[in-house]
Chain A
């Protein structure tokens, strides 16, 4: 009962249990989070109906964001992406991701970028003319260990032109 083997075994089990517990409760530490963002549509590059029948639009976006307050000692990276959300007669919700970035450090979390959409903005159908849509900046905090959490800022008031161009 008091051999080396037993003592080593129970010590190891105890140590691993404590480690697992610490990894789990790390998820409950929240800090004061005040991220901010602004997105501007600088230009509608083109807006066409594709041969297979779906509308597609290409935009140039100007994205300004400050996500520094999301970084804690336990943050490995923050994944940020901009999605367009809109409703059509066929679909009650459409979310199309236009751009994303991985932010590995706090210093890179305050940024300004002007870019055309990284992923194609294609509708299921041809409902995009004169469409109002929201642009949402989502962020996904990926920790070094523990629970991941995500949130977003919704910016509304954007719309697409009446006619193809």
Chain B
């Protein structure tokens, strides 16, 4: 019977209010990060307003680990613009430059061909089997701004996921053990 009493005492000594406050603060931080991300998506009109450059196909302009800010407006996409697009069957978006544009007179649909600055060949080898051109709905956004090196954090966390777990574990520990 004694140990039940001890257990009840331990449970009573955990300050419920403090625990709840900590949980709510953590929740607030997470949700405000989410709000900022969604607001950015709205403001830039693009599904992923910030992308990290993963390959060397646009060197020396964009190196691995750089961050690109995207924007999608209703303006037509023209030759020379750097666009980020998805290919059916590939999960990572590609950042390349548009080198050919053919806009249909009657329907207004546009065919694009892209190429990475540092690649020898155009992107037809990357497109889905039988696909010769990109269309507007493949394109996530235009690159309008650029920050060097900041994306390495994401690359490290993706490629060595153990670091992601260590980081989250450490953060969790910090939250639990902080005095206020």
Contact = CB atoms under 8 A, between A and B. Distances in A.
Interface string B90-103: 00000001011111
Contacts of B103: 91-94
A92 B104 contact: yes
A125 to B, nearest CB: 9
Contact of B105 (A76, A89, A95): A89
Nearest to B111: A124
A92 to B, nearest CB: 4
Contacts of B105: 89-92
A142 B66 CA distance: 13
B60 A104 contact: yes
Contacts of A143: 146
Interface residues of A, number: 32
A90 B61 CA distance: 35
Contacts of A91: 102-105
A133 interface: no
Nearest to B112: A95
A156 B144 CA distance: 28
A77 B61 contact: yes
B176 interface: no
B147 A145 contact: yes
Interface of A: 23, 27, 76-77, 79, 81, 83, 89-97, 100, 102, 104, 119, 124, 138, 140, 142-148, 150, 152
